């Protein structure tokens, strides 16, 4: 069967790699890269370093307002679907690329398979929350990471075609650890690793300045992988990097380098979704600068702390010891194989 997959942002490149490998010999796979992340360090390098095959279709969407961006993707995705006539469409996560693919599949009556379904932050001001809810409600098969995600879907009346298979990102972390692909420590001194990109943390001058000031006060050095939009906003707000002598700003990192920085850190401070899980799997304490998280299990198990309005307790939170770790959290590391087997069975 021919399966068309749609990717466009960094976390989707990571999720796609295990799925692509699991499809070999079982499903014919074609890939659309929407171009949602167009920066070379955020896009092309992931294909080169992970050894993924070049996408069959590369769109030139780029940045823009949510409505315009999603609509532009839909127009081009629809044309590809009509010409290629896939038997099914796979989308990942919760980006505008996800929603665009989901709407096209629904309108053209092509079976839709959603990987990383069922997550909820219960904050509809996040565009990702709207994207994932709408995608879930038009999906034919929903592959979810946890029982909490299953409960979320059940509460919305979605009970058919739901499969708890774990998290596909764990597949790759597992392989990286087993194959010894974590490199040597990038820094001789202890440090915290930081990523920051969400609009509510970056788009307001006083908010971004406050976060940088609090990071600058931390006990250990801070290494901050600077997302392109965060970097541009710092320039716009005239927040000079040299003003923060405890923060070392570096370029966005490729997948393996990102895991290396995280692995040797004293802890992670982020507003990312995926990195909360990666920190947990690598036994690193995480502080998430958000009011909520989709990965609530990392909080309830003590590996993750949520901070937002008052960041003065950031130091205490990142140093708070973890009593126990559940290394089986979000599956067995073979989610991609489970997903492919389910899709094959769907058509059989």
Distance CA 63, CA 97 (A): 12
Neighbours of 316 (CB within 10 A): 10
Please count the residues of the chain: 348
To the nearest 10°, report the CA torsion of 121, 126, 130, 131: -100
Distance CA 49, CA 35 (A): 18
Burial 13-30 (b: 16+ CB within 10 A, else e): bbbbbbbbbbbeeebebe
- Locate all alpha helices (DSSP H) within 92-245, ordered by sequence: 96-108, 127-137, 147-155, 168-178, 199-202, 205-216, 228-236
- Find the catalytic residue in 16, 197, 227, 338: 197
Q: Are 107 and 80 in contact (CB under 8 A)?
A: no
Distance CA 97, CA 33 (A): 9
Distances (CA, A) of 42 to 9, 10, 13: 8, 6, 10
66 catalytically annotated: no
Q: Which residues are catalytic?
A: 197
């Amino acid at each position: 069967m021919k399966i068309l997959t749609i990717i466009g942002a960094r976390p989707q490149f990571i999720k796609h790699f295990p799925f692509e490998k699991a499809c070999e010999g079982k499903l014919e796979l074609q890939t659309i890269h929407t171009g949602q992340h167009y920066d070379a360090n955020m896009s092309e390098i992931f294909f080169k370093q992970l050894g993924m095959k070049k996408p069959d279709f590369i769109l030139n969407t780029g940045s823009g307002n949510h409505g315009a961006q999603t609509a532009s993707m839909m127009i081009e995705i629809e044309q590809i679907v009509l010409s290629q006539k896939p038997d099914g469409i796979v989308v990942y996560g919760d980006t505008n690329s996800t929603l665009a693919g989901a709407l096209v599949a629904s309108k053209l009556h092509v079976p839709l398979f959603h990987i990383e379904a069922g997550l909820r932050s219960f904050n509809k001001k996040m565009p990702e929350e709207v994207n994932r809810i709408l995608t879930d409600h038009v999906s034919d098969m929903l592959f979810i990471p946890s029982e909490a995600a299953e409960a979320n879907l059940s509460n919305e009346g979605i009970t058919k075609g739901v499969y708890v298979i774990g998290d596909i990102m764990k597949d790759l972390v597992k392989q990286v650890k087993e194959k010894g692909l974590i490199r040597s420590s990038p820094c001789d001194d202890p440090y915290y690793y930081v990523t920051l990109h969400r609009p509510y943390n970056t788009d307001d001058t006083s908010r971004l300045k406050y976060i940088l000031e609090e990071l600058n006060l931390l006990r250990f050095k801070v290494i901050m992988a600077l997302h392109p939009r965060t970097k541009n906003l710092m320039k716009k707000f005239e927040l000079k990097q040299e003003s923060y002598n405890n923060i070392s700003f570096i370029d966005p990192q490729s997948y393996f380098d990102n895991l290396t920085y995280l692995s040797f850190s004293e802890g992670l401070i982020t507003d990312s979704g995926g990195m909360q899980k990666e920190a947990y799997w690598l036994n690193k304490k995480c502080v998430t600068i958000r009011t909520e998280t989709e990965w609530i299990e990392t909080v309830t198990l003590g590996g993750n702390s949520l901070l937002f309005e008052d960041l003065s307790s950031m130091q205490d939170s990142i140093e708070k010891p973890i009593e126990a770790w559940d290394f089986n959290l979000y599956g067995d590391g073979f989610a991609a194989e489970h997903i492919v087997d389910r899709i094959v069975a769907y058509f059989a």
